[in-house]
Amino acid sequence: MKLGLFTALFSDLTLDEVISRIRPLEIQAVELAAGNYGAPKHVHPDWIEQPDKLAELRRKLDDAGLIVSALGCGGNVLHPTLGPQHADTQRRTILLAEKLGVSTVIDFSGCAGDSENANTRTSSPWPGFRITPKFSSGSGNRK
């Protein structure tokens, strides 16, 4: 078993400061927040186009003996206003995970309704659910 933590808890710290703080705790894995409700402080989906940033991240984590257990992009892809932006961050996070060799991306399912008569994910199909697995399987990350 490996012990890990979600770095969004340390969004006020740089990655170097997070590593220094967790080193004495013998943490072995980190989940990095890549956007949406978790501020992308330690990794950012835009880095899919910035190999130097990815290399620096890998070097820092390797030097600290840490693995990335997951990228987190918890958002609400069903939100009437924020949904498209959150879905874009979700897709870019999947591509980022592929570039980093991370096989797990953690997201929220979202909430479709805001009234007693609104459909929710527990009472009706989630339209984006069929799109996301298809997209992620094409990225090489779906296992």
The full set of domains in the chain, from first to last, is: 4-138 (3.20.20.150)
Q: Is the pLDDT of residue 114 over 90?
A: no
- Tens-place pLDDT, residues 64-105: 999 999 999 998 888 888 889 999 999 999 999 999 999 999
Angstrom distance (rounded) from CA 92 to CA 73? 10
Strands ordered across the beta sheet of 4-6: 4-6, 29-33, 67-72, 105-106
pLDDT over 90 percentage in the chain: 60
